[in-house]
Each structure stands twice: as structure tokens, then as C-alpha cells.
Amino acid sequence: MVPAGRPLSLLSAVWLAASVLPATAQVEHDAQLWINATTFGGIGSFAYFAEVQPRFGDGISRLDQLIVRPAVGWKIGEAVTLYQGYARVENTPAGARSFSEDRSFQQLGWEIGTFDRVALSSRTRFEQRFQTNGRDTGFRLRQMLRASLPLTEAKDGIAAVAWTEAFVALNDTDWGARAGFDRVRTFVGLSLPLAGRSTLEIGYINQTVNAPAARVGMDHIVSLNLSVRQ
């Protein structure tokens, strides 16, 4: 039996470790809106998901990024699913040339368990990144820990949700990636039940990005996440 406090302590430790940034860094803030729609399904042990995510930045005034990300996977028992996926990312940064990114990724999803009514899960993703503004392949590791607490006695009712995800670049590239801490995202919000097992998550994401020239980007994001489960 895992003590209830240990997974929550791990969640906090990942966030604190990823948040270590130079004290002299200049912080640039931005308000953003991220809308995500994902469909999940499967037959037997076979699983899949596909998502589309437009992200609006620069004070929620323009489309900053568009991500399309499908994946297929295989369930290893009741708690673990392995995926192979692909992402196409269209980037239109303010004041700079647009560029595209292709990503191949491998993902491990783990339903850790429930502790004092708090359901914990983990997502580990390893990405191989290819951008049109360079020739190098970037390798990046992402680790997410998620906690969900039901707010009612009803099964699949409204729940409070919090998660944190740390990104670590594993190498330097000619298109700007630098080995080490890349960014960290932290979410707090609510999961609202829809028809069947589908849900709508609404809340706030704080994203801290390690930018070039000793700068730090801090994004304040309104997040709308629709999950349609077959």
C-alpha cells in the first residue's frame, strides 16, 4: 500500500525541481487561450486518441499555434497504455517568420491509483522534433502528474483537477532548443461531466518557458479541454 501523501509529495517535487530558474531572468507575461478537443477510443487492448488544439496568444488576439496530434496504442493490463503518435505543429509567432514542426512521440500512460478519494495518474512522453527552420532533430522528455478529486458523491460527477508537466530538452539544435529545463505547465480547474464518459475541463494553466537570452516567458492561459470518450 502506497502512503497517500507520497504521490502528492512527488507531484510537488517535480513542479519545484522544474521551476528552478535564474533569479536575474527577465520575465515576459502573456495572456492566452488554449482550446483542445480530443477523442479517445479502442477495441479490446487496442487504443487510440486524436486531438486538435488551437492556441491563441499575444493577449488572446491572434492564433499563435495549431497542433494536430493522433496516436495509436496498446493497453498493458488495466493501468498502463503505451502509444506511438505523431504531431503536426503550425507556429505563427508574433514578429517572426512562421514555421512548422513534425513530432514523433512515444507515450506511457499510467493510472497510478486512488488515495483518500484522490485519483492519481501519470503521463510520460518522449518526443523527436523536426522543424522547418533547421536540420537538427531535437529530443525532449515530458513528465506529467495529474490529481483528480470528486466534489460530489455521484459517480463521474464534477471533480477538482490539478496537474503539472515538466519538459526537459535532451540536446541542443540549430533551430534553438537548448539542453536542460525547457518549460513547466501547471493546471488547476474543474472537470465537468458530459454525455456518456465525455468531460469538459475548464481552468487556468500557468506556463513558465525558459527563453533565449536569459529571458523567461510566463503565460497565463485560459484552458478549455473537451474529451470525447467512445
Q: Is the pLDDT of residue 48 over 50?
A: yes
Each residue's pLDDT tens digit, 65-78: 999 999 999 999 99
Architecture of the CATH domain 5-18+27-229: Beta Barrel (2.40)
Q: Is the pLDDT of residue 43 over 70?
A: yes
Which one, of 53, 21, 35, 12, lies nearest residue 217 by Cα?
21
- Asked if residues 216 and 188 have their Cβ atoms less than 8 Å apart, the reply is no
Q: Share the mean pLDDT of the chain.
A: 91
The pLDDT-based confidence of 176 (bands split at 50, 70, 90) is: very high
Q: Is the pLDDT of residue 147 over 80?
A: yes
Is residue 58 helix, strand or coil?
coil
The sign of the torsion formed by the CA atoms of 216, 220, 178, 94 equals negative
Each residue's pLDDT tens digit, 189-203: 999 999 999 999 999
How many whole angstroms separate alpha carbon 4 and alpha carbon 11?
12
The sign of the torsion formed by the CA atoms of 193, 199, 204, 208 equals positive
Which one, of 170, 176, 166, lies nearest residue 215 by Cα?
176
Structural domain boundaries of the chain? 5-18+27-229
Exposed/middle/buried for 29, CB within 10 Å: 0-12, 13-18, 19+? exposed
